[in-house]
C-alpha cells in the first residue's frame, strides 16, 4: 500500500531533517505562515519548503503532490500555503530579468539598486539615443556608476523596445 511508502519517506525525512516536528521551523513570518506550518508540517518539518524556490505554478504542483501523499487541510489552508510559499520562496531567476529597453525608471531604480538620478539618466539616454544593445552602451551615460550595471549584466535583456 501507498501508506507504507509514505511512512518510509516520512522516516527518512525526519532523520535527515534532524529534529522533525519538535523543532520550530525557521520560516519567515508572513500571511499564510500558520496554515503552511499546519498543513505542511505534519509529515516532515514544514521548514523543508525552504529548500525549494518555485513559481506559483511550481508551488501549486508541489502542494498537489503533497495532497496526493496525504496532506490534510481545507482548500483555504492549501490556498494560503501556496500564497505564502510563492511570496517567501519565489523562483528568483524568472522575476530577475530586466528588460532594459522597456523598464520604467522606477523599475530600473529598484531592480538594479540605482539612485533615482541614475535611473532617470538611463531612461533619458534611451529616449535620446534609442535602445541599448549591450552593457557597453551604459558606459556612455554620464553620471552612471557602470559597475552597478556590470554586476547585474546576467539579468539584463536587450530586446528592442518596438518589438
Ligand atoms: C502526508 C505527509 C506529507 C505532508 C502533510 C506534506 N508532505 Fe511534503 N513530503 C512528503 C514526503 C513523503 C516527502 C518525500 C518525497 C520524496 O522523497 O520524494 C515530501 C517532500 C517534500 C519536499 C521535498 C521535495 C523535493 O523533492 O525536494 C517539499 C518541498 C515538500 N514536501 C513540501 C511540502 C509542502 C509545501 C507541504 C504542505 C502543502 C507538504 N510538503 C506536506 C510528505 C508530506
What's the pLDDT score for residue 14? Answer: 44
List C-alpha distances in Å: 100 to 17, 79, 128, 133. 42, 34, 15, 9
Can you name the CATH fold of 97-157? DNA polymerase; domain 1 (1.10.150)
Share in percent of the chain as helix, strand, coil (round to 5): 65, 5, 35
Atom of ligand 1 nearest to the CA of 40: 37
Q: Look up cell 506550518; give the residue.
A: 37
Interval 19-76: pLDDT, tens: 444 444 479 999 999 999 999 999 999 999 988 999 999 999 999 999 999 999 999 9
What's the pLDDT score for residue 19? Answer: 41
Confidence band of 85 (pLDDT split at 50, 70, 90): very high
Mutate which of 48, 78, 89, 91 for ligand 1 pocket (most atoms within 8 A of beta carbon): 48
Could you tell me which residues come within 8 angstroms of residue 94 by beta carbon, excluding any fewer than 6 positions away?
A: 55
Q: Cα–Cα distance between 149 and 128 in angstroms, integer? A: 20
In the structure grid, which three cell numbers stand for residue 56, read together?
A: 506559483
What's the pLDDT score for residue 75? Answer: 97
For residue 99, give the DSSP letter: E
What's the pLDDT score for residue 152? Answer: 84
Q: What is the mean pLDDT of residues 103-114?
A: 90
Q: Pick the residue whose CA is nearest to atom 5 on ligand 1.
A: 71
Which is higher by pLDDT, 32 or 142? 32
Domain ranges of the chain: 2-91, 97-157
Q: Cα–Cα distance between 20 and 10 in angstroms, integer? A: 9
Atom of ligand 1 nearest to the CA of 52: 29
What is the pLDDT of the chain when averaged over all its residues?
84
What's the pLDDT score for residue 94? Answer: 53
What's the pLDDT score for residue 96? Answer: 66
Contact criterion met (CB below 8 Å) for 71 and 35? no
Amino acid at each position: 500500500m501507498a501508506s507504507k511508502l509514505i511512512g518510509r519517506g516520512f522516516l527518512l525525512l525526519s532523520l535527515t531533517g534532524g529534529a522533525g516536528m519538535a523543532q520550530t521551523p525557521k520560516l519567515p513570518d508572513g500571511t499564510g505562515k500558520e496554515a503552511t506550518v499546519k498543513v505542511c508540517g505534519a509529515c516532515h518539518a514544514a521548514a523543508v519548503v525552504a529548500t525549494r524556490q518555485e513559481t506559483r505554478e511550481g508551488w501549486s504542483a508541489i502542494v498537489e503532490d503533497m495532497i496526493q501523499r496525504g496532506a490534510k487541510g481545507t482548500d483555504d489552508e492549501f490556498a494560503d500555503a501556496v500564497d505564502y510559499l510563492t511570496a517567501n520562496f519565489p523562483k528568483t531567476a524568472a522575476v530577475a530579468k530586466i528588460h532594459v529597453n522597456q523598464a520604467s525608471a522606477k523599475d530600473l531604480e529598484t531592480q538594479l539598486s540605482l539612485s533615482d538620478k541614475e535611473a532617470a539618466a538611463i531612461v533619458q539616454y534611451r529616449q535620446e539615443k534609442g535602445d541599448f544593445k549591450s552593457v557597453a552602451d551604459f558606459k556612455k551615460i554620464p553620471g552612471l556608476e557602470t559597475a552597478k550595471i556590470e554586476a547585474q549584466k546576467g539579468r539584463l535583456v536587450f530586446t528592442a523596445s518596438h518589438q
